[in-house]
Amino acid sequence: MAGSERSRRSVDYLNRRFHELETLRSEFIPLYENLAMFINPRMGRFNITDDDRSHEKYDFDIIDNRAKMALRTLSSGMMAGITSPTRPWFRLAAPDPDLNKFQPVRVWTAEVAKRMLQVFQKSNVYNMLPIAYKELGLFGTGALFVREDIKTTIRAFNFTAGSYMIAQNDDQVVDTIYREYRMTADQIVRRWGKENIDDDEILRAFQNKPDEKFEIIHAIEPNFDRIRGMRNNTNMPYISFWYRKSASKKNMLHVAGFNEFPVMCPRWDLNGEDVYGSSPGMDCLGDTKQLEADQVRKGQNVDKITNPPLAAPESLKTKKVSQIPGDITYYNTQTGGVRVEPLVKTEPTAISTIIEDIQDIRTRIDTAFYVDLFLQLSNTDRRMITAREVEERHSEKLLMLGPVLERLQDELLEPLIDRTFGIMQRNGDLPTPPDELDGVDLGIEYISILAQAQKSVGTQGIVETFGFVTQVAQVYPEATDKIDSDKMIDEFSEMTGVPPSIMAADDAVEGKRSDRAQQQAQQQALMSGMMASEAAKNLGQASTEEGTALGDTVEQTRSATRQ
């Protein structure tokens, strides 16, 4: 084994890189803790022992949960709009449009996409994706680990912020992740087998205290020491290490490899060469803190109105003064009529002012989490707005979300589809592709609700152009020559996500038109023959006597012939 290979596969090397990545991530931990504290305390793991104190991570200190509800709406809206379990959200296609028109190719790509969607349904992917969307919305970075599973083909695990560190290559693609977590001795032995564990401490705990937890680091990075041509578990494009965090332990728990990078690490938004992304939660963290402060002030003012601090003469110090409705407090009228009065008078209008400010803050939070986009139709009074205005507003919101969708497709959905495709292909779960696809890299076309909604912005132009041409054609019929109806239908169906199986291929359309033209020609020939036969019959029955039209014509013809 070469020296470089030994160094890269040693615990010392892995620990050094772990601490380097931990140092880079440490700048974000205070921000992550604030986001969790004020928006969703159940998210994030900022100490390796957080899993034992989960009962402490409730939002008892959150007074107004508007940001938490907005985050939930964002997660649900993205799940339904991007990766809905109830409808297809992607399809496969060859990069050559002409190749996609070939029927065997169309049938094969449709069948593969169908099987992949069935795998997603059977696995836990649709349970993990909403959590990943929440992580994105709150912390700006997500991590979804997808591994092979004997029963369900794939199985997904979501890593929360603070429990992992990532690094990216020169293309700003995440290709390295180090995760720190805890496993019980029982879990370790069940995972890798007692015969494969070379750690006496773990083995003793498994026998005597199986629930004792050990700190584990899982590292995945590109396999720079890969030996080309050698096919085994440690010579894949990516290599994976599980080992004890304790520096005194030099033995690995497990070494494996992956053909694809198994962790999808989407970022909501990036600035320059940043590794960790920014989020809607970061955008409205200040608003959330202000909302909490306003709610406290509102409660204080309500208390001052309903139960104000009182001022009373010293003579009542030893007397009973009751504030119970209907009760009586006695005092000596000879002292001049003492009274108990509010020390501070709070005007009810002060609460109205605070409520207006609270509503303004809530609106800003909703905007940061795109609540107005995902709940637009339910929040719109259709009696006061036209359908055209709703469509225009919807289009504007989608354009704002466009860059985020593009990044999610590039960093989450495409890697997830590629990873699942590779696993299914290696397991023999895919049909044999046609010869035309040999050596062809398939592309992915997204047909989710949000993807189609973005594309449908362009359908409005097609509809308006067709309507305009139709009106012009009433005066200038030749205007329809400007419209290529076949291309218009193809473009419209693609933008609206119409399944390719219901759209006839170009050669089939040409065949139908050729048959129709032939039938029309035969009908015209038949009609012409019938008309000629009828004319001949009528001509044969016509009178040729002198004085009739036909008789005069015959006589004129005879005279011209004699001459």
**pLDDT tens-place string over residues 394-411:** 555 666 778 888 899 999
CA distance 344 to 311: 9
**For tokens 């007692």, what's the residue?**
194
**For tokens 């940043």, what's the residue?**
274
pLDDT at 1: 37
- Residue 128's closest CA among 157, 149, 150? 157
**pLDDT tens-place string over residues 148-187:** 999 999 999 999 999 999 999 999 999 999 999 999 999 9
pLDDT at 162: 93
pLDDT at 6: 42
Ordered DSSP codes for 172-226: S-EEEEEEEEEEEHHHHHHHH-GGG---HHHHHHHHH-TT-EEEEEEEEEE-TT-
**Residues of the chain with confidence (pLDDT) below 70:** 1-9, 51-60, 247-250, 327, 331-338, 376-399, 449-460, 494-503, 505, 532-563
pLDDT at 7: 47
Ordered DSSP codes for 459-527: HHHHHHHHHHHHHHHTT-GGGGGG--HHHHHHHHHHHTT--GGGSPPHHHHHHHHHHHHHHHHHHHHHH
pTM for this model (two decimals): 0.78
pLDDT at 477: 80
Q: 268: Cβ–Cβ under 8 A, 6 or more apart, which residues?
A: 136, 137, 140, 141, 277, 278, 279, 280, 404, 407
- Residue 341's closest CA among 329, 333, 354? 329
* C-beta separation of 163 from 157 below 8 A: no
**For tokens 């097609």, what's the residue?**
462
pLDDT at 553: 61
- Cite the DSSP H helix spans in 342-448: 348-368, 371-374, 376-379, 387-408, 414-426
pLDDT at 397: 61
